[in-house]
Amino acid sequence: MSSSKLNPRESGSYIVENAKHVRILPAGIEKLTQEIVKGLIEKRIAVENFSQHELHPNPNPNQPEDYSKAADWVFVLDTLNFCFWTPDNYTKYKVDGYTGYFALCAAIKRAIKEGVDVINPKFYSQIDLKTLENIFRSDDGKTVIPLLQKRLESLHEVGKVLIDKYEGSFENVIKKAEKSAVRLLDLVVEEFPCFRDEAEFAGKRVSILKRAQILVGDVWSCYKGHGLGYFNDIDQITMFADYRIPQVLVHFGSLEYTSELMEFLKTDTILENGDPREVEIRGASIYIIEQVRDAVVKILKEQHPEISLDNVNSIVIDQYLWDYRRRHNADLEHIPFHKVLSIYY
């Protein structure tokens, strides 16, 4: 990453130092740390959780074609992993009963079952709007997946780069990174503009990189940290700053909004991508999870040497908190969240 641009961890710290609308509360970070430690001890937090989900690819090392195809599948999912809500209804878009990100997964899996070559860049680099709309058709037959045109543009953009520079395979991008998660992150951001989730904040260029980081995290998770998914610096990837995790952070008392911001969020007004309030909420989320991760590692080293630290990182913490929000939706729904119509999350 160029020296003029802060990486996500640095961005989180810088944003919190200069924040005017959010506060970090150490007692809440401590509470969250205990929740994560407990989850790791009880094995509720584990890298395996990703491929155990029926909608995710589950690569088989004994079938080479199937094994590398999983990387292309994950790449398509994370190219399209943004904005599943409409301003008037957050769960209106459904596929096979699933909402949000899992509706996307269900649509892609359905297309594969129907024989659509949806994870092949030769196909999706030239896909037309009507075909894409059909792939993403919803259960009610009326609701269209949000930002359909942007999804088309994103697929065309990334597909063309893969064909022109990487022999049509995301596996080759992963291999070029030479087992470095940070190098893969940089490559994704350099090569595929639709992953450049950055902002100007308090005089500096900050990077949040939600989808680029989740792509690296998903490759690691999908391959359970082995083979194509082995990275020697996976601990350098931060959490994936979206609009749902902050609800959990507020719930645990680690993140607090000023009364002005809280009142604003309750109005359900849609923010522009890059608004300082949005950047502060997302930057604070990264900062808090990094603090939690560091504290968890310290406790495990001192009190639970039997737990391997190989798979203890911000990725599994993020996945756990994201699932926590879905499981405890009724308890968390009173906490307002920021809303941005964006391709970045």
- Residues taking part in catalysis: 242
Residue 8: name the closest of 190, 208, 196 by CA. Answer: 208
The residues, any chain, with a CB within 8 Å of residue 50's CB and separated by 6 or more, are 56, 218, 221, 222, 319
Residue 303 amino acid letter = Q
Which two tokens mark 69? 């195809």
Distance CA 280, CA 212 (A): 19
Q: Quick check: 174 and 181 in contact, CB under 8 A?
A: no
Which two tokens mark 32? 């969250």
In this structure, which long-range contacts are made by residues 23-28, counting pairs with CB atoms below 8 Å and at least 24 apart in sequence? 23/255, 23/256, 23/257, 23/258, 24/254, 24/255, 24/256, 24/284, 24/287, 24/288, 24/291, 25/253, 25/254, 25/255, 25/256, 27/253, 28/249, 28/252, 28/253, 28/254, 28/255
The conformational region for residue 173 under phi > 0 = left, psi -120 to 50 = alpha, else beta, is: alpha
Residue 313: name the closest of 297, 333, 330 by CA. Answer: 297
C-alpha pair distances (Å), 252 with each of 17, 255, 285, 325, 332? 21, 8, 12, 11, 10
* Three-class DSSP category at 207: strand
Looking only at Cα atoms, what is the longest distance across the chain?
Answer: 57
Q: Quick check: 180 and 195 in contact, CB under 8 A?
A: no
